[in-house]
Structure 1
């Protein structure tokens, strides 16, 4: 009986070692505001909270001392893997529902999308089309969340991600990541703010924009991308265009992960042609853990090694530089 109790206690500790914490942004920071003009609200019509933020850490795993900020809806399967790598992870709610307000004449002018993305990320005035104050931008929402976590969940050791002066995050310890528009905003933000690493799933896009070739605060060898070849962003040359404009071809060729093995020639540009039954929409989401991801005959995700590579491969280990692809259309306005 004593052995059984001991085993049950050990199991309880093991299960509780993965700490998942959720808290509404509006409860963390009273300065947080709704922006109904872009359908950015705290509750939906049924009263369900829309500003929930999520954080998780696995206390059983040796911590790397790095924080992943995920710029999409919460992905529990992804967070489980991030935590298993020794990474802390948070998902923040910030004012990013601006797509529907952009006039058609401005949408494709080559600058508007990037400016709005940067304002949504920083809470600083970069665009004349939106007004996103600092408390509603990603940077401040992430800072306030981590500060709250440091106080309310000290066992998670979140304080290590605060800057020495306590006025923001220590961005040298931060990995920004997202999928689709979240990947694009991650890359745009990293041009402006140096971070430890960027991981772009099915992105970046903004195929008429020029921000991808701007000088970058985050060195190119710290930026990783992964997409499916049937994804419209790939077939439309959006991804290859952005990757080359950001100079990722300086760090290795495009590598098909289904025909290669880690470390994938130390590249930053990863693709898959895994079977998604010809469904381009499934292809778009298949590169992240979840319902669209491809599994093997035993029901296991086939891209576990890829996800681990994207978040853990040493940034100083790079592949052989390759020339730009002449078949990748850079000027998409022609």
Structure 2
């Protein structure tokens, strides 16, 4: 099979198309013929040598796919050969075939293309586990997501809005802000022109944000604390502007804030299986009703993977980037 090889760490140009044997599914796994694979920020960081795969995971890039099941490992009962699924992988998605734990597969929602389905797993697993499991966002609460025009951001806006939260977002251009508001954000703040702390605080009558999802880090960490409402929950999932900060922790104590964070990839299979069950029960009906839909910024062929990574690094896109095979 063809796959994207990473012979060394570096710029997008280090990636190339190569060939290897088709993997065989192990116990509890399925083999998927990949029709499309999502491109995500962790792929970029792994390519740069800053995010090594956990022990036992495939070193091949690619954390989400959609396609057809072509073989079943021992003990797999739910799925059959020929089923169309999308899946959160443990690596290996940038390839014509990939093995995936059966419990991390979900049926392709009706009316979605395989390219759209491939854009679902990584962002939905991340948003659900952090915003709804970890931060416990509830209907009627105020939610702020940074990077609102990213794959994570566009997904978080739609989900939080669908579950009854007041949604705010930050983005880096008026076009991106308009896209966030079209997806359900009450107000999107262009951080190049306005201070999101002031805008959201004013819009909420001084209440602030009950839940903040941050992938920026840097000086946003302290500003999030300033904006957070009493008993607020702040979740960090990335640090594009740096992870080391100096903080005044007094507001954290006075406002009874919770500061937390997580990474998805190293979590145990049982945790990922539980997230998949929650998504199928609570989010899949919203997708099939058209209330939540992946926003595709661009698609590239497998051979165009370098261009896909360059687009991701430019941050000029709105939504998800997908490789099609």
Tell me if both proteins adopt one fold, taking TM over 0.5 as the criterion.
no
TM superposition score normalised by structure 2: 0.26
The structure whose residues are more often helix, as a share, is 1
The structure whose residues are more often strand, as a share, is 2
Q: Which has the higher contact order (CA 8 A, sep 6+)?
A: 2
